[in-house]
């Protein structure tokens, strides 16, 4: 069986702060932001790829279903891959915005083999890994049993 990642949901106490981080710092495109601002949809999203989005849940959504101490720690981290030049530019942007890198650069295993990663946190303390793959074969499908 094969799957594609559809979406990740993160919880936030401050939608504006999170949207600023994901759109202005990481450069992801906002989705349904105007509709959220006009109270037409319950949450906005940002697009990672054509197939994958991050939904940003405001406190009123996740607070209803679970206490903060139960709901929030379930996500360890998520990883975004990019080109080496974008990865370098992101490090500069993080530095300019006083966002510390918690770990890295470090080589770690991922969906396309070993890549070079950095780890940092969004405004709600969610851990984000961003990596690039050095290998020219990084875009080949991963063979899990090879």
Quick check: 146 pLDDT over 60? no
CA 140/CA 24 separation, integer angstroms: 30
pLDDT at position 106 is 94
Rounded to two decimals, the pTM is 0.75
Tokens 């999170």 found at: 18
| Tokens standing for residue 44 | 């906005």
CATH fold label, 77-146: 2,3-Dihydroxybiphenyl 1,2-Dioxygenase; domain 1 (3.10.180)
Please answer whether residues 98 and 146 qualify as being in contact, where contact means their C-beta atoms are separated by less than 8 angstroms. Answer: no
> Which range (38-42, 66-70, 92-96, 132-136) has the least confidence?
66-70
Residue 66's pLDDT band (cuts 50, 70, 90): low
Residue 145's pLDDT band (cuts 50, 70, 90): very low
**From 3.40.50.620, 3.10.180.10, 3.20.10.10, 3.20.20.70, which CATH number describes the 1-75 domain?**
3.10.180.10
Residue 59's pLDDT band (cuts 50, 70, 90): confident
| Tokens standing for residue 108 | 């770690």
pLDDT at position 35 is 96
Q: Do domains 1-75 and 77-146 have the same CATH topology?
A: yes
- Return the higher-pLDDT residue of 100 and 144: 100
């Amino acid at each position: 069986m094969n799957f594609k990642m559809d979406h990740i949901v993160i919880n936030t106490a401050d939608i504006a702060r999170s949207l600023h981080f994901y759109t202005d710092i990481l450069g992801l495109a906002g989705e349904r932001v105007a509709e959220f601002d006009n109270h037409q949809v319950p949450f906005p999203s940002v697009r990672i790829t054509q197939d994958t989005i991050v939904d940003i849940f405001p406190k009123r959504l996740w607070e209803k279903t679970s206490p903060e101490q139960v709901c929030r720690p379930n996500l360890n981290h998520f990883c975004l891959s990019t080109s080496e030049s974008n990865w370098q530019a992101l490090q500069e942007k993080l530095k300019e915005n006083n966002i510390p890198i918690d770990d890295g650069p470090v080589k770690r295993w991922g969906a396309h083999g070993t890549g070079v990663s950095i780890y940092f946190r969004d405004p709600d303390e969610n851990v984000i890994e961003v990596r690039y793959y050095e290998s020219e074969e990084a875009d080949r499908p991963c063979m899990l049993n090879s």
